[in-house]
């Protein structure tokens, strides 16, 4: 029996009906027990559909797009170039500018 069909939901609802009916049979009237068990089995039937839908949605494999992967590769290369340019700009700072920046940061930290 394949567990990914509406038959599984009917089976779960039937088991829920039987369990709920026998649990309330001695306490309530027969009609009340049947109505409650029927309502409970309907709730289980619908909930099983929702539960199976969520599982299918979660387990679905993502579709890979080659164009998207190439675009990501291009953006990585561009970021690499930008970081190289930043490194060159940082290296071009003079000693005086570095000292001024460090003094400024120390003053801000001491405040």
User: What is the 3 state secondary structure string of 65-97?
Assistant: CHHHHHHHHHHHHHHHHHHHHHHHHHHCCCHHH
Summarised one tens digit per residue, pLDDT across range 34-82 is 999 999 999 999 998 898 888 888 888 676 665 555 556 556 666 666 6
Domain range annotation of the chain: 6-59, 74-110
Distance of CA 15 to the CA centre of its chain: 31
**Over residues 4-22, mean pLDDT:** 87
DSSP string for residues in 37-60? HHHHHHHHHHHHHHHHHHHHHHHP
* pLDDT tops 70 at residue 27: yes
Q: What is the C-alpha separation between 76 and 66, in angstroms, rounded?
A: 15
């Amino acid at each position: 029996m394949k567990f990914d069909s509406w038959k599984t939901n009917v089976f779960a609802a039937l088991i829920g009906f039987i369990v709920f009916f026998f649990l309330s049979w001695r306490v309530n009237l027969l009609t009340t027990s049947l109505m409650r068990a029927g309502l409970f089995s309907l709730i289980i039937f619908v909930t099983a559909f929702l539960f199976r839908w969520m599982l299918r949605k979660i387990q679905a494999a993502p579709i890979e797009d080659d164009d998207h992967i190439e675009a990501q590769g291009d953006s990585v290369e561009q970021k690499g170039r930008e970081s190289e340019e930043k490194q060159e700009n940082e290296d071009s700072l003079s000693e005086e500018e570095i000292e001024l920046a460090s003094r400024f940061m120390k003053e801000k930290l001491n405040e």
